[in-house]
A and B are shown apart, each in its own frame.
Chain A
Amino acid sequence: MSDDPLAGSRGGTATAETPPPDGAGRDNQPAPLAGAPRVSRRRKALRPYLLSVPAVLLCAGILYPFFLGVSYTFFDFSAANPAPDAVGFDNFTTILGSDAFWTSVRVTLTFALSATVLETVLGVGVALLLNRSSLVGKLFERVLIVPLMVAPILAAIMWKLLLLPEVGWVRPIAQFFGVNDYNGTDSPVMAMVWAVIVDAWIFTPFVAIIALAGLRSLPKSPFEASAVDGAGWWLTFRKLTLPMLWPYLLVAVIFRLMDNLKMFDVIFGLTSGGPGDATTTLQISAYLEAISYARYSRGLTYMFLLWLLVFVISMILVKYLRRIQDRAAGV
């Protein structure tokens, strides 16, 4: 009963048997309360559960393969060994003891952190510029989301072609600025730099539209007050705009960091993890192990470790977000 916020009011009036105040003008209608079905208390309490049953079943249908996958990490399951034996923590000790794994962790963190920072800084910048509502800004706001709606894999392919020395426009542009040894994504450092740039190309609009929505919902009076007091732009931004925008921004940052930690499409489409292992993130490693080499248990162990990393970071960040939002609501 108490689980249903509406049940209290309905139960109360039903037992009182009083005509509804607006029922007077509708005499020919059946008495509203008499017409209301007498649903048993038990069914009323069960209703939210019944409504959620399909979703719970669906979750179970997805959690089953997930737990199956986790259980595979304790076997030596591969295409070559379809009848696997239990090997305990062997997969974990092998992988945690290998240099390739730690390189992969470093690459994953480098990519995720640089891409998230770049997207956040660019996104806030673009939002601040668009918030000035100039004519140019109004024109551009309409096309802001275009990169975001391009499938990431297609965006990666577009950029791959754009960066190809013999096809793309980047080489002539680089030459115009005096860079004559342009070689696309051939060097390890540039492969990572371009992967981050392509990711930022797609997802900066994501941060920008959330930041813009935040900026437009901020109250005007503190800014008027600071203008009257003669506060400069930077001071206003640092002491006023940024703290008030932070709850919005944090939502965008969480989404971007989580997505970038498990980014597959952009890197796979652009460099496939190369050159060498320069852009081999944990997702790419797991893909190579599980799909290319068909060593399922190995690949799953990689994935499970990445899943743990994402899970722990997201727990911490979501808790922090809750606290920030509560504080913002309390003010």
Chain B
Amino acid sequence: MATTTEPTQAQPAAAPAPTKPPPTAARRADQRAAQRGSAAGLLANLALVLYFAFSLLPVLFIVALSLKTNAEQTTTYLWFTPTLENYQTVLGLGDSGSSYVRFFLASLATSTGAVLVSLAIGIPAAYAAARYRFKGSEDLMFTLLSFRFAPELVVIIPLGVIYQQIGLYDTIFGMVWVLQLVTMPLVVWILRSFFQDLPAELEEAALLDGYTRRQAFFKIVLPLVRPGIAAVCLLAFIFAWNNFIFPFTLTSGDAQTVTVSSLAFLGGNQVRFNLVAAGAVMAVLPPLVLALCIQRYLVRGLSFGAVKG
């Protein structure tokens, strides 16, 4: 077998040596490939630039619009003298009577509250689901996941009736409660994946060293998943902040959030596009800043722990 194949294998290796032309032909082919490569690279970069132009255009537009005066707001020109007047009006500086700051604070209160409640309830549940096999564990996890995928109105309509009856309509507490639909599945699913990443031997070793189960959790496990908890906190906050349908249907004034209030500027007889834009820019900033802090965990967070980036 080996002896019969030897000559045929040797032939191609020996062939280029005596004849001169092949190397130059090969070089020419190499050059062509390199050219094709750089052309492909150029095309790829062009495609990326096009996509990101599409991606950033609305952002640039809204920032520009927020800096335009009333006279210029219905022009599409790029050249104008920017003004911060719209931001002052939206923030209620002077006597514009804007409630934007109150809406902003309501957003802050409801989102923070929702995250804290989710953490308090979600951390033990996530830990139990990651470390123990027990009856109903998977059922609980999938019930929580189904909240994430359920159309919100199916809960909102009856909840609106209940809230009216027991006085939770248009309250911060009522919003914190209903926002659990958004934050709770996120917290439990992602934290479970973080807990599962820790080897169970860690706790076994701690128990052998005389720690109680509780001490092992608080002194060994919790510090190790702290980055995960921080990431989950911020992500849950972002989703609570960005939610629209719950505050839109279950609040009317006191607990109204900033996402809902942005619609208010669109109503009325005189639509002030520049004010809408200024309000939108300010409402978008907190989630954006927070998201930049947790880029490392975004893949895992957004996929509910299914993809570990």
Across-interface contacts of A5 in B (CB, < 8 A) = 131-133, 200
B204 lies within 8 A of A66 (CB)? no
How distant is the Cα of A4 from the Cα of B161 in the complex, in angstroms?
43
How distant is the Cα of A147 from the Cα of B277 in the complex, in angstroms?
16
Whether B105 is near chain A, meaning CB under 8 Å from some CB there, is: no
Q: Please provide the chain A residues from 263 to 321 with a CB less than 8 Å away from any CB of chain B in the complex.
A: 264-265, 269, 282-283, 286-287, 290-291, 296, 299-300, 303-304, 306-307, 310-311, 314
Q: Mark A48-59, 1 if CB is under 8 A from B, else 0.
A: 110110111011
Whether B99 is near chain A, meaning CB under 8 Å from some CB there, is: no
- Contact residue among A47, A145, A204, A300 (Cβ-Cβ distance under 8 Å from B298): A145
A146 lies within 8 A of B210 (CB)? no
> How far is the CB of B175 from the nearest CB of chain A, in Å?
14
B307 lies within 8 A of A304 (CB)? no
Q: Which of B158, B161, B263, B266 has the most CB of A within 10 A?
A: B158
Across-interface contacts of A63 in B (CB, < 8 A) = 143
- Contact residue among A152, A169, A209 (Cβ-Cβ distance under 8 Å from B61): A169
> How far is the CB of B174 from the nearest CB of chain A, in Å?
12
B143 lies within 8 A of A136 (CB)? no
> How far is the CB of A102 from the nearest CB of chain B, in Å?
18
Q: Please provide the chain B residues from 209 to 267 with a CB less than 8 Å away from any CB of chain A in the complex.
A: 209-210, 212-213, 238, 241-245, 249, 259, 262-263, 266
B52 lies within 8 A of A140 (CB)? yes
Whether A172 is near chain B, meaning CB under 8 Å from some CB there, is: yes
Total cross-chain contacts (CB, 8 A): 283
Across-interface contacts of A205 in B (CB, < 8 A) = 55
B307 lies within 8 A of A52 (CB)? no
Across-interface contacts of B273 in A (CB, < 8 A) = 161, 164, 167
**Beta-carbon nearest neighbor of B288 in chain A:** A149
Q: Mark B44-80, 1 if CB is under 8 A from A, else 0.
A: 1101110110111111011001000000011010000
Across-interface contacts of B161 in A (CB, < 8 A) = 296
Whether A326 is near chain B, meaning CB under 8 Å from some CB there, is: no
How distant is the Cα of A132 from the Cα of B46 in the complex, in angstroms?
13
**Beta-carbon nearest neighbor of A77 in chain B:** B161
| Of B1-9, B18-26, B87-95, B146-154, the one with at least 4 CB within 8 A of chain A | B146-154
- Contact residue among A157, A213, A264 (Cβ-Cβ distance under 8 Å from B307): A213
B209 lies within 8 A of A32 (CB)? yes
| Of A87-95, A218-226, A234-242, A251-259, the one with at least 4 CB within 8 A of chain B | A251-259
- Contact residue among B44, B242, B309 (Cβ-Cβ distance under 8 Å from A134): B44
- Contact residue among B150, B154, B242, B263 (Cβ-Cβ distance under 8 Å from A300): B154
How distant is the Cα of A209 from the Cα of B74 in the complex, in angstroms?
37
20 contacts between A and B (CB under 8 A): A3-B132, A32-B208, A51-B128, A52-B136, A54-B125, A132-B44, A145-B298, A146-B56, A148-B291, A150-B284, A151-B241, A151-B284, A157-B262, A159-B58, A164-B273, A201-B58, A210-B303, A255-B303, A283-B151, A307-B154
The chain B residues found within 8 Å of chain A, CB to CB, are 41, 44-45, 47-49, 51-52, 54-59, 61-62, 65, 73-74, 76, 120-122, 124-125, 127-129, 131-134, 136-137, 140, 143-144, 146-147, 149-155, 157-159, 161-162, 177, 180-181, 184, 188, 200, 203-204, 207-210, 212-213, 238, 241-245, 249, 259, 262-263, 266, 273, 276-277, 280, 283-284, 287-288, 291, 295, 298-299, 302-304, 306-309
Give 9 closest A-B pairs by Cβ, nearest first: A32-B210, A213-B309, A151-B242, A55-B125, A48-B132, A51-B128, A69-B158, A153-B244, A51-B124
